[in-house]
Amino acid sequence: MSEVPATDPTARREAGAASSAASPAAAAWGAAPLPPGAWLGVLGGGQLGRMFCQAAQALGYRVAVLDPDESCPAGMVADAHIRAAYDDAAGLDRLAQRCAAVTTEFENVPADSLRRLARSRITTPSGDAVAVAQDRLAEKSYIQAAGVPVAAHAAIRCAADVDACPDALFPGILKTVRFGYDGKGQVRVASRDEARQAFGALRGVPCILEALQPLDHEISVVVARDLRGRAVSYPPSRNVHRDGILALAVADGSVPAGIADQARGHALSLADHLDYHGVLCVEFFVLRDGRVLANEMAPRPHNSGHYTQDGCLVSQFEQQARIMAGLPLGDTALLRPAAMLNLLGDLWFDAQGRRREPDWAGVLAVPGTRLHLYAKSEARRARKMGHVNILGADAAQLRERIARVSAVLGLPDADA
């Protein structure tokens, strides 16, 4: 473990449910905001941590990142980089000594690390909230307890559980309970026999079987909830996935008002139920009959919310910093129709597998585009390397620009 300097719409509640009166987060309710120059900390050195650093620094704060990778994207821009494992007690204590408040940039950080930090520092989100998001079964239970509908499902802990599943769960998707993301740890199964085979292929780890839904499209909502329980939500984005990875998120007002209101209400209810502090993304299935079902949540800023960097006055990353510092929540209104186009490592290879640099000049020649690259040292297929935010005067112009950028990059023209 070592530490080095960096080298290079709408308010919800005025007060939330009380946390432990002894917790630093609870004590911070009545405290003055952290002044510029104070230190904020983040567990995780990936691209989300990098964008958090940049947003916090724009507000005048200094940022320390804890991550074991000496060349992590966030460490390159942070004011200090503590090189340590996420469960390294000495590293965590050093982060706590330096920083007044700490957050995380990914949900698979050990929940106990956040609990350790929370003994002495404002920690958003809490280790308990992150632990819920790390377990698909616990997540489903919390979502339902908040009064938010989910798809029919069953726990699969052994082969006998597959045999006991109701027929209504087929066809379905078998997912590992833990550590699944970007399509990993998920298998579509048409029948009980296929589910048995898939469970074996997943090495018998605890799973959840969810019934496939008559899906029309997918949307997500990003919520920001502060230490006093006040919350705001961003306009929902309509999302397109390829191979289980988000390819495009479009926030252009095309989600019908009734569906948007349902989704935003559900996301805010879930944040209230969890007594959540920080930025939370909830992904939803919109069914062909108009019903809205919660799919999963991410206790952090999310790919689908990257459009807020250029499409809103205050981005999801600035909200994260504001909450930690005790500042007022920012405006979430959409300034112009906006979209986020994900850039995966596949773009760095031609049809013959030879490495190449994408045509960034061609991308930036399209009006209304802003390029965000993550400074990752190596491009790999399916690895998130950056994104392009695209703005338009209206939905039609936005889609025309999405098509132009996609053509420059050789991507299929995805219609959200």
Q: What is the CATH number of the domain that holds 189?
A: 3.30.1490.20
Judge if 192 and 227 occupy the same domain. no
Write out pLDDT tens, residues 57-91. 999 999 999 999 999 999 999 999 999 999 999 99
| Model pLDDT, residue 244 | 86
Judge if 121 and 62 occupy the same domain. yes
| Model pLDDT, residue 180 | 67
Is residue 218 annotated as involved in ligand binding? yes
Judge if 103 and 202 occupy the same domain. no
Question: Does residue 8 register a pLDDT over 50?
Answer: no
Write out pLDDT tens, residues 105-149. 999 999 999 999 999 999 999 999 999 999 999 999 999 999 999
Encode burial over 233-262: b for 16+ CB neighbours within 10 A, e otherwise.
bbbbbbbbeeeebbbbbbbbeebeeebbeb
Q: Average the pLDDT over 26-49 and give the result.
A: 91
Judge if 71 and 187 occupy the same domain. no
Q: Is residue 143 part of a domain?
A: no
What DSSP line would sit under 173-224, residue for residue? EEEESSS--TTTTEEEESSHHHHHHHHHHTTT--EEEEE---EEEEEEEEEE
Question: Does residue 416 register a pLDDT over 80?
Answer: no
| Model pLDDT, residue 415 | 66
CA distance 2 to 40: 18
**Number of domains, the chain:** 3
Judge if 90 and 200 occupy the same domain. no
Nearest to residue 340, comparing CAs of 250, 406, 219?
Answer: 250
Is residue 241 annotated as involved in ligand binding? yes
Domain that holds residue 66: 2-130
Is residue 185 annotated as involved in ligand binding? yes
Write out pLDDT tens, residues 352-381. 999 999 999 999 999 999 999 999 999 999
Between 168 and 183, the more confident residue is 168
Report phi then psi at 121, rounded to 5. -135, 150
| Model pLDDT, residue 414 | 66
What's 238's domain CATH number? Answer: 3.30.470.20
Q: Tokens for 15, please give them.
A: 């007060």
- 192, 211, 230: which is the final residue of a domain? 211
Q: What's the mean per-residue pLDDT of the chain?
A: 93
Q: Average the pLDDT over 250-258 and give the result.
A: 96
- 172, 195, 211: which is the final residue of a domain? 211
By the 10 Å C-beta count (0-12 exposed, 13-18 middle, 19+ buried), 182 is classed as middle
What's 69's domain CATH number? Answer: 3.40.50.20
pLDDT band at 11 (very low <50, low <70, confident <90, very high): very low
Judge if 194 and 226 occupy the same domain. no
Q: Is residue 207 part of a domain?
A: yes
| Model pLDDT, residue 14 | 30
Is residue 181 annotated as involved in ligand binding? yes
| Cα separations in angstroms, 415 against 65, 247, 288, 406 | 37, 11, 17, 11
Judge if 282 and 397 occupy the same domain. yes
Question: Does residue 18 register a pLDDT over 60?
Answer: no
Q: Is residue 139 part of a domain?
A: no
Judge if 6 and 105 occupy the same domain. yes
pTM for the complete prediction? 0.92
Judge if 390 and 243 occupy the same domain. yes
Is residue 136 annotated as involved in ligand binding? yes
Is residue 175 annotated as involved in ligand binding? yes
Is residue 184 annotated as involved in ligand binding? yes
Write out pLDDT tens, residues 305-355. 999 999 999 999 999 999 999 999 999 999 999 999 999 999 999 999 999
Judge if 308 and 206 occupy the same domain. no
Judge if 225 and 193 occupy the same domain. no
Q: Is residue 144 part of a domain?
A: no
Q: Is residue 26 part of a domain?
A: yes
Is residue 86 annotated as involved in ligand binding? no
Is residue 234 annotated as involved in ligand binding? no
| Cα separations in angstroms, 43 against 116, 168, 299 | 12, 41, 13
Q: Is residue 137 part of a domain?
A: no
pLDDT band at 7 (very low <50, low <70, confident <90, very high): very low
Judge if 33 and 159 occupy the same domain. no
